[in-house]
Structure 1
Amino acid sequence: MSRMRLTDPLHEPQNAVPGDRVRRAWALIVLTLLIPGAAQLVAGNKRFGRLALRVTLTVWALLLLTVIIALVNRGFLVSLLAHPVVLAILPFLLLALMAGWVVVWVNTFRLCRLAILPPRWRGPVAGVLVVLMVLSGGALGYGAYLLNVARGTLNDVFDAGRPPFDPVDGRYNIALLGGDAGAGRTGLRPDSMSVISIDATTGASAIISVPRSLQYARFPADSPMHKFYPDGFNNCDPDPLNCLLNAVYTDATDNHKDLYGAGKNAGAEATKDAISGTLGITIQAYALIDMDGFAQLIDAMGGVKMRVGAWVPISGGMLPGSDTRHVKPDGWIKPGNQTLNGFQAQWFARSRENVDDFARVQRQQCVQQAMLKQLDPTTVITKFEAIAKAGAHVVDTDIPQGQLGGFVDLTGKAKGQASVRMTVGPPDFPAGFSLADPDFDLIHQRVKALLAKATGDTKASAATAPSGTVSEDGTPLSAVAVSGGAQASGPLATAVQPKAADQLPPDFPLSTTRPDGDTITEAYLNSLYDAQDYEMLDILLAKNGNCAAL
């Protein structure tokens, strides 16, 4: 007959058999890991255990509530977590939880009574307990650090004082300005300008690119700049370049910096107004991103996946004493499916060797779509710190911090929907459309048609578009136009431009062969530069605006 165990291993381990002592120690460690305070409640100071357990249950309840809110209204949750007061408090709460859990672990270490454990179990029990203490406390400490990084980034980037704005005609319209104030440049002039228009209900988006070389941009009647340029931005004297759309930023910064009030970025605000008047829609906010910050953000994301249609030169520049850009590049981006790092994506978006600005605009749109598509929750969570720090390179934005939740919610809705896009110029406008003397009524009509198409109103899209510019399925058709807006002649005047890049099939053909059928190589392209055969380069690189986000 076996001897009955009359001792209580939990409270009197010294009287228990060695096996029960070991099992008791492991049980206390598991309880402290899963339910901090439970080990003290069953085997130690009950008052301390009840206090720790109340904290644990409160944290669990808050986590459960967070999950429920995330499932029901993710936008509200993001807005709550992005609130300056909440962001300031949360890191300290996590640090307090970390300190409390460490105290519980230390107390559990004492409760395990290592001295009465069999010698061969003392090391493993102590080692596991210390490792778990470091991992659990370290996780909370690192969480507090990441929250502090997020707080710094949000405070640096977004406008905490501006109240959230309402959609206009059911859409949010945000201007994206790509700034480049590098060496050899006077001040900052946006190199790229586009508008992302998002349906406030469905998240359906449209991207409208506006060439920086567009002249005589219109200002809405309520814009402070309208009284200076009532007939459009005609600041052409003494330099015609001062008439271009991207010169609005410099003009407002240098000459009208007080128009928009103290603390405002007059250049960005004026550019936002100019884009509003030009497109015939209300631009509610802007984000100005410098090119270095753009490259860092791409790297933080792990690159962007892209199908590149033709060879794209890296670097290059202007020939001395010439208005043509035919300097031999420093490298090349090859056609095909690939992942572009920050440096490559930066040049993919800005390169204009041997092509016009419209091919570059198409590539910029592809990069924007790739970022929207690939900046998913998993990427944000796993690479949060790098993305947050890169995000601080956004030079300026007037997007309210309190608006972030709603935009995150809309971004989630937009994930499963195709985005439509348009460029003010080729290939989306007919031959003869001139950036030097734009037809603003035509621009307004085309923008209205595009937004109707983005909303799913194909009938309104077809009815609004100018006659002869929409196919039977509502897809815009465009006659070939040339850079600078000059009238095309001969067969080109009536030809139809291929579909825009977002309408290309996922496996659209690549430009990888020469007219004679031989394969295009980097060495061959460089030899054409050495021979100054720019005509052949123009032919081979003509379709490098063809691209698609993967």
Structure 2
Amino acid sequence: MENRSRHSAGRAAILANPVRNPEGASARTRSKRALFLLLLTLFVPGGAQVVAGSRRLGRAALTVTLCCWFALLATAALALLNRGLLIDLLARPTVQLVLAVVLGLLAVGWLVLFINTIALIRPRLLAPGMQAIVSTATVLLVLATSGVLGYGTYVLNTGRQTIENVFASGPAFDPVDGRYNFLVMGGDAGANRVGLRPDSMSIFSVEATSGKTAVISLPRNFQNAQFPSSSPLKQVFPDGFNCGNECILNALYPTVEANYAHLYPDAENPGAEAMMDAAEGITGLKIQAYVLIDMAGFADFIDAMGGVTVTSGGWVPYNGKYWEGTRVRTHWFEPGRHTFSGKQALWFARSRDFTSDYHRIRRQQCLQQAMINQFNPQTVLTRFSQIMGAGEQILETDIPQDQLGSFVNLAGKARQSAFKRLTLGAPDFGTAAERFSTYPDFDQIRARVKTLLAEASATAPTKAAAPSKSPGGSSGDSSESPSGASSATPSSSSASSSPPGAGNVAKEDIPTTQPDGSPITEAYLVQLELAGQTGLISTIASNNDECSAD
């Protein structure tokens, strides 16, 4: 009798507990219970099962929840104490694969808990209106939890695949004299590389501890490129790549691909290896890796970033549709602040009509600095999939996967200081008319490079400012500017000459108004071209290499 009485009392207590047995509860209590169990599953996964369902399942889920909270706290502590190590870990494909699997399992587990919670709620016991509310809330909570974790799995796997497809295998390399030196080239990096000529060539020299960066731009029409004694091309071109206009620097890539690829038997890209050797021979810097950017896909990458913003100091021409009733197709970006789409940025970077290759080099430097400034964590997080998809299409590099974490960390530091920059031609080495690129002085180049690196290392962190321009003559110390970033110039097999008025025009001599005193407009420039006044157009456009990165 006593045992039966105790059993009855226990059963009565259970029935009196509306959380576990809602049958005898009021409609209002059932509604509160339903919302309570959903919120428990959201904030304390496993909690609903402990209080209203299978305690075994609930305790297992709570254990996983506590482990996740511990992992998040440990990650936050590591981010505060050693951010570089955290970035290095997260950039490793193996770590990304493990995290993707973990997030996928958590997404499935959380979904199972919500399904079980709905079973515990027993929607048929709820009023019709509350059934709709609970159903809608459950769908939204599942999207906010399992959906977000599932998307995280996709993002991590996309990043892992991109890294594995773009970056090389093998161990990370050490800095040389405290700096990483790598060659960045822009060209048509498609599968068929026959005849490829790099549009742009720059050496990025990054201090390993601070991220302070110097950028040395190599004009495409640079002649007599030298090779270090360690290069197999030293035997082929003992006096340098010096056969005149046929042997300008950007012709080296297709020449090696077509005729001397056998000299680089272990290289996946002999042309790129040859360009690294030439960059090393020219500057005296040890070049450790290369990055080849497909300029045709460059526009997609900028679009993936949401555009890029720069401030142009002068009028920049580009070719578009023919103006109605004319054979003129020149259009113009006016001076001022622009947020360019990918296609517009490519026009801005490649334009050299009415000016010179060196104007284009400085605009490309500015544009690349702007991209680095704007390639921040917020952009990456909000546009990760687009950026990863575009990156896989446009990048080729021999930088090892294991190096990526340290380089991403350095990129963050690099944004804190304006780049120091130097162009191995006008205006940093005389004027375009003096043709330093045709008759280079390598002793002078190497001395200036050493000075540049010393200045870059000493540069205090500062917000990038508009570049100063030195008309005519060396710009040595004025090379600190946000427009410092990369290099270059589009391909053509012969050196180009500067059009009249393209260089060495004093700023005060550049017209800013029409003869009647009204401001210069695009329509006015079109009329000048129709009238054949290209010299005046060149003078008006002569400062379009002045550019600053936002």
TM-score tier (shorter): 0.7 to 0.9
Deviates more, 1:207-216 or 1:129-138: 129-138
Q: Contact 1:212 / 1:244 at 8 angstroms: preserved in 2?
A: yes
Displacement, 1:380? Answer: 0.7
**In the alignment, which of 28, 37, 43 is matched to residue 34 of structure 1?**
43
SS in 1 for 2:268: coil
2:245 corresponds to: 241
Structure 2 residue 292 is the aligned partner of structure 1 residue 284: no
1:310 corresponds to: 314
1:355 corresponds to: 355
Which residue identity does 2:199 align to in structure 1?
D
* Identical positions, percent: 47
Q: Distance in 1 between matches of 2:194 and 2:260?
A: 17
Q: Which whole-Å deviations, capped at 9, do the CAs of 1:31-61 have from their partners, x for residues lacking one?
A: 1111211110111101111111122222222
List aligned pairs for 1:80-479, cutoff 5 A.
80-159=89-168, 161-180=169-188, 187-234=195-242, 236=243, 240-315=244-319, 328-431=328-431, 432=434, 434-456=436-458, 475=478
2:76 corresponds to: 67
Q: Which whole-Å deviations, capped at 9, do the CAs of 1:163-205 have from their partners, x for residues lacking one?
A: 11111111111211010379xx962100111122111111111
Displacement, 1:510? Answer: 9.7
1:542 corresponds to: 542
Q: Distance in 1 between matches of 2:74 and 2:305?
A: 30
In the superposition, relative to structure 1, how do residues 386 and 486 fare at CA in structure 2: closer, same or farther (>3 Å)?
A: closer
Displacement, 1:221? Answer: 1.2
Unaligned runs of 5+ in 2: 1-12, 322-326, 461-472, 481-493
Unaligned runs of 5+ in 1: 318-326, 459-467, 478-482, 499-507
Which residue identity does 1:539 align to in structure 2?
T
Q: Distance in 1 between matches of 2:286 and 2:225?
A: 14
Displacement, 1:439? Answer: 0.3
List aligned pairs for 1:485-524, cutoff 5 A.
512-514=512-514, 517-524=517-524
Q: Distance in 1 between matches of 2:256 and 2:114?
A: 61
Displacement, 1:531? Answer: 2.2
In the superposition, relative to structure 1, how do residues 328 and 233 fare at CA in structure 2: closer, same or farther (>3 Å)?
A: farther
Q: Which whole-Å deviations, capped at 9, do the CAs of 1:302-329 have from their partners, x for residues lacking one?
A: 1111111111111389xxxxxxxxx944
1:21 corresponds to: 30
SS in 1 for 2:198: strand
Q: Distance in 1 between matches of 2:505 and 2:524?
A: 31
Displacement, 1:82? Answer: 2.6
SS in 1 for 2:170: coil
Displacement, 1:407? Answer: 1.1
Q: Which whole-Å deviations, capped at 9, do the CAs of 1:104-160 have from their partners, x for residues lacking one?
A: 11000011122222343222122211221233221122111111211221112111x
Q: Contact 1:313 / 1:329 at 8 angstroms: preserved in 2?
A: no
Q: Which whole-Å deviations, capped at 9, do the CAs of 1:277-300 have from their partners, x for residues lacking one?
A: 111211111110011221111111
Alignment root-mean-square deviation, CA: 3.0
Q: Distance in 2 between matches of 1:124 and 1:374?
A: 43
Aligned length: 500
Q: Distance in 2 between matches of 1:429 and 1:448?
A: 15
Structure 2 residue 537 is the aligned partner of structure 1 residue 529: no
Q: Contact 1:149 / 1:385 at 8 angstroms: preserved in 2?
A: yes
SS in 2 for 1:246: helix
SS in 1 for 2:261: coil
Q: Distance in 2 between matches of 1:316 and 1:438?
A: 36
Q: Distance in 2 between matches of 1:428 and 1:470?
A: 5
Which residue identity does 1:83 align to in structure 2?
R
Displacement, 1:93? Answer: 2.5
Q: Distance in 2 between matches of 1:509 and 1:150?
A: 51
In the superposition, relative to structure 1, how do residues 316 and 36 fare at CA in structure 2: closer, same or farther (>3 Å)?
A: closer
Q: Distance in 1 between matches of 2:412 and 2:268?
A: 31
In the superposition, relative to structure 1, how do residues 165 and 64 fare at CA in structure 2: closer, same or farther (>3 Å)?
A: same
Q: Distance in 1 between matches of 2:530 and 2:505?
A: 34
Displacement, 1:63? Answer: 2.1
Q: Which whole-Å deviations, capped at 9, do the CAs of 1:242-288 have from their partners, x for residues lacking one?
A: 31000111111111213233352010111011011111211111110
Which residue identity does 1:18 align to in structure 2?
A
